[in-house]
Structures are given as structure tokens and as C-alpha cells.
Amino acid sequence: MSDMVSSEQVTEFTAGIPPIEPYDPPGRDELPAAVASWSPDPRRAVLLVHDMQHYFLRPLPARPRDTVLHNAARLRERCAGLGMPVAYTAQPGSMTEEQRGLLKDIWGPGMRAADDDRRVVDALAPADGDWLLTKWRYSAFHHSGLLGRMREAGRDQLIVCGVYAHVGVLMTAVEAFSNDIETFLAADAVADFSREHHQLALRYAAGRCAVVADTDGLVDALELAVPADAVRWHRTAAHPEWVVV
């Protein structure tokens, strides 16, 4: 492994979602320093709520689930209030063999199409106008239309919260970076299989593809970027200038 994370820091990978022991997400003083110096701007950013479906949250114990839900809901409320698009990824459930592909070799058959598996948890329920994207693979960009939606909306920043940090969240951050999208990972609004996996994801993201910050830091930065006389912004490819609406 690289010098960023030693082999002793990460538990062995296993098939499927393993039993998850309670843990507290890393605090602000434990977050890795980012290489990039980007700052989130509500005129440029999209919030992605990644895979916050009942199926994926069911294995999480109250620690860290309650903290992650609280912080993700706070991010969602503030970003929407600042006029930012809010996007959701959600797996469809009951995938065919062809749709599931190699995922079944690592994760098994996955969720059912039943509502109690597929539904986004109530604390983060999508609102009218949010972007609802079908999730097919680790990255939220894979065959989902997310990149096209962002380009059309003139957005080149992505803030990510959700589960699981070292799987889909991290792969989404890498692909966003690969498409020249400045990416921000909400360290206390993501969860993982263990504190070690959580820290692995944060370290890699901060060093290679994203800025890692806690929810307080992201909300503060977004609010600092708001001009004093502005209420909401709208930007499209056809009209790239900033317009107060």
C-alpha cells in the first residue's frame, strides 16, 4: 500500500457489507489536510446525497448513523436554501443478472425493489426539483446522467455526503476530479464499515482528488461565498453569467 495508509490501519476486505461496530466519525482536528485549496461556492456547486437508502443504512449502528444523518440533513437544508441543485443517487433494486454484472461477485444480489429497501431515509427525503439519479455502479457518474446535468446547469463543484465512504463516495470523488469538477467530501456526513475504512477514504480523497472538511466548515464556506445582496443564483450553459433571481 502507499505511504498514505499503512496495511495495519485497515481491516481486511470481505464480501458484502460486513457487520459494523459502533464508531465515532473523525473530528475536525483529525481530518487530513487537503492538497488542493478549493473553496465551495453555492453558485458553482451541487450537493450529492449518495445512496442514503434504507438498505444501505440498515447495517449502520446508531454511531455513526445518527451523526451522519444529522449532518447530511443539515447540508441538504442549507445547500437547497442557497439555491444549489441537490442530487440523489439510489439503486433501483432487483437488478437483472446483466444489470448487476460483476457487482454480484463482490456484493451478492443486492437490494430488492421493495420500498423498504429502495426508499431514501425520511430525514433526507428528496424535494420537488431535486435531481433523482439511478445508481448502477460505484461511481455516481456511471450511466446516471449526473455529468450532463452538471454541465447543463453550469456547475463545476460537487459536495458529497452519504455512504459508503471508501466505496461509492470515494469512487465518485475520483471520477468528479477526472472530469475537472472540484470536489468536497463532507467528513462527518459520510459513514463506512469501520473508523479505519472511514479514515482511509478521507486520507485518499484529501491527498488525491478532493477537499475534506466537516459540515460546519462546508456550511461556513458556502455562506461566506454569498454576496450580501444576493438571494439565489441560476446558471446554465446558455447563460453562463451569474444572475440573481
Catalytic residues: 51
- Give the residue from 86, 87, 71 showing the smallest Cα distance to 216: 71
